[in-house]
């Protein structure tokens, strides 16, 4: 059984590429990408090699197993080299952080470190889509896209949402990279932390399909 169709769709969604954008990268049509993802067609071996090389994978990984988010994003490789230290706003500081942003004052950030996670900010929220006490990581963006998860900062709150709302009252956006439950600090082993990242990113991807 080939897992290519499932893996192709997961890679494209994780990299936040539309079918049209993905097709342009590899000199295909959007219809061809759709046919691959639906299992109605299989690529030639040279195209398989091109796709695998582009994303730093092997052809074997692409067709013989169900890829994880960690494998696609190469978290394991990043862990060997560095921990990312990310500015962190705890729930208890929410009011002061919002005031600082609105009034353009300095805010003294706490920090949080995770393996190989590229993000500009981490915010603690009380509840999000059925998950209690989570930390949301985001990257700074200028314009939210229609099917991405975002942290939006208003004059009174920051909230997490999928990009289908009216953005007029929002001051700042961060594209959501990852969700973690607060017990991440209790996970001593790197592999356990990576599994937690995997679960939360998968949750985001699966929820955005609904």
Average model confidence (pLDDT) across the chain: 78
Asked if residues 47 and 41 have their Cβ atoms less than 8 Å apart, the reply is no
Structure tokens at 180: 């973690």
- Say which residue the tokens 């169709």 belong to: 5
Cβ neighbour number for residue 145 with a 10 Å cutoff: 11
Domain boundaries, the chain: 4-67, 77-208
Whether 91 contacts 81, CB under 8 Å: no
Name the fold adopted by 4-67: 434 Repressor (Amino-terminal Domain) (1.10.260)
Query: pLDDT per residue over 33-52, tens digit each?
Result: 999 999 999 999 989 999 98
Is residue 10 helix, strand or coil? helix
Q: What is the pTM of this model?
A: 0.53
Radius of gyration of the chain (CA): 19
Q: Does residue 19 surpass a pLDDT of 80?
A: yes
Span 131-154, average pLDDT: 77
Q: What is the mean pLDDT of residues 142-150?
A: 70
Cβ proximity of 90 and 84 under 8 Å? no
Q: Average the pLDDT over 17-21 and give the result.
A: 89
Residue 13: predicted pLDDT: 84
Highest mean pLDDT (candidates 78-82, 138-142, 177-181): 138-142
pLDDT digits (tens, 9 = 90+) for 64-120: 888 887 778 765 554 444 567 889 998 889 999 999 988 889 998 888 877 666 789
| Residue, of 89 and 198, whose pLDDT is higher | 89
Dihedral angle at the C-alpha atoms of 29, 32, 36, 41, nearest 10 degrees? Answer: -150
Closest by CA position to 148, among listed 134, 131, 162, 167: 162
Residue 210 above 50 pLDDT? no
CB 31 within 8 A of CB 21: no
Percent of the chain with pLDDT strictly greater than 90: 19
Say yes or no to pLDDT of 185 above 80. Answer: no
3-class state of residue 101 by DSSP: helix
């Amino acid at each position: 059984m080939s897992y290519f169709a499932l893996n192709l769709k997961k890679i494209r969604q994780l990299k936040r590429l539309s079918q049209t954008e993905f097709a342009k990268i590899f000199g295909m049509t959007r219809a061809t990408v759709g046919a691959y993802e639906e299992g109605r067609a299989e690529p030639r071996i040279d195209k398989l090699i091109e796709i695998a090389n582009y994303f730093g994978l092997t052809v074997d990984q692409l067709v013989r197993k169900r890829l994880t988010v960690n494998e696609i994003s190469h978290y394991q490789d990043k862990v060997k080299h560095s921990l990312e230290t990310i500015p962190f706003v705890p729930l208890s500081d929410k009011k002061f952080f919002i005031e600082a942003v609105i009034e353009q004052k300095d805010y003294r950030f706490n920090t949080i470190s995770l393996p190989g996670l590229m993000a500009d900010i981490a915010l603690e929220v009380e509840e999000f889509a059925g998950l209690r006490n989570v930390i949301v990581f985001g990257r700074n963006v200028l314009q939210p896209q229609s099917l991405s998860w975002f942290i939006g900062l208003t004059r009174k709150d920051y909230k997490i949402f999928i990009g289908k709302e009216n953005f007029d009252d929002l001051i700042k956006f961060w594209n959501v990279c990852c969700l973690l439950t607060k017990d991440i600090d209790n996970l001593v082993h790197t592999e356990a932390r990576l599994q937690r990242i995997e679960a939360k990113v998968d949750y985001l991807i699966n929820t955005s399909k609904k």
